[in-house]
Amino acid sequence: MNIKRIFSLFLSLALALVITGEGMAGGISLWETEETEIAAEDTAGEEVSETAGEADLGLTCRSAILMEASTGTVIYEHNPDEKLSPASITKIMTLILIFDAISEGKITLEDSVTTSEYAKSMGGSQVFLETGEVQSVETLIKCIVVASGNDASVAMAEYIAGSETEFVNRMNERAKGLGMTSTHFEDCCGLTDSQNHYTSARDVAIMSKELITKYPEIFNYSTIWMENITHVTDKGTSEFGLANTNKLLKQYQWATGLKTGSTSVAKYCVSATARKDDIDLIAVIMAAPDYKVRFKEAVTLFNYGYANCKLYRSINDDIPGTVKVKGGIESEISCKYAGDFSYLSTTGENIDAIEKKIVMEEELAAPVKKGDVVGKAEYYLGDKLVGSVDIISDGSIEKAGFKEYLKKAVNMLWL
């Protein structure tokens, strides 16, 4: 090795020591002083339509709202924040917690659930479970969704949380997490007439959105018109027919669910869902004067929505690119979109003209953690920014140490 190469080697080692601060009291990496923080922004579909609530649809219910599910855009609202008794619409939150437990691996659809004496004692709408009767989780989901079984709801609450009281505590926590500010639950099925059990049309739409977008498998159950279950008890075996309480399944071509409710206090309610032209709408009707009106006015909302809405979707399955990384054991990191993008137009805009623009950091300072925001995809309609989706790192890169720099220096030396 000649003198020139020896000098180059010592120079490379010295540079590595200075950059990493190894062996130097109070040493600071030069790259650490240049970190850039990107403010996370995801405005996709969160804004409320400026025309929401302006139309006079002649509704007679006390409260109503129409929401597009993928964006959360409110298309129409009528007294949407009044606190009202929800009756069996309560069970939408019960179903969210059931599917949460399935998703988290805490229970399965095949699990066996034993009916307690307390669950059997539930009045109102029920599927007549007997004390000690065993049904699968999936069967009880059908009983809740299709027949609005109060006994089935309590059986599932006890199975998941140990008691209905604890389950209701979790319902209220979940509601709080979803931003349902006008809601408080006292039971898991809506049978209570307590004034402390209430929600609003807006909050019902919020929890309905959570259920159908996070757990679209709910449609496998909410679209069942009639189905039999089998009771196996000490009295023998018998068939029991479930009939869907949501008559919109037969009255409205594009209906997909979701849940009805009625008591003397709540009057007649429905959180109805429909899909047409790949647009999922949620129509909430609360305190309608009779059971036919709630369905008729839900259809009125659907017709209004589909006549005035167009949905733009960007399925972000491409790779947005890579970003250079300073001071890392690797020099660049791959990236991906945090999700897809949807934009709902209610003003007749030409949504086909929406363009996507990628804005990313040119360089990051190590360490980089998986999921760090490194840029965003911005969507423009002309000069108007209509929304964005975060671009995040698709892996992690640790900060390089002395050994990594030594290795790089040696590799450079022998090139």
Active-site residues: which are they?
A: 88, 91, 148
How far apart are the C-alpha atoms of 80 and 210, rounded to whole Å?
18
Distance separating alpha carbons of residues 229 and 126, to the nearest angstrom: 13
Q: Which residues pair with 74 in a beta bridge?
A: 67
Say which residues have a Cβ less than 8 Å from residue 264's Cβ, sequence separation at least 6.
193
Distance separating alpha carbons of residues 56 and 403, to the nearest angstrom: 72
Residues 395 and 109: their CA atoms lie apart, in Å, by 33
Given the structure tokens 């080697």, which residue do they identify?
9
Of 102, 166, 165, nearest in space to 136 by CA? 102
Q: Say how far apart CA 114 and CA 117 lie, in whole Å.
A: 10
Rounded-to-integer distance, Cα 329 and Cα 217, Å: 43
Distances in Å between the Cα of 132 and the Cα atoms of 32, 120, 155, 234, 235 are 64, 9, 11, 9, 12
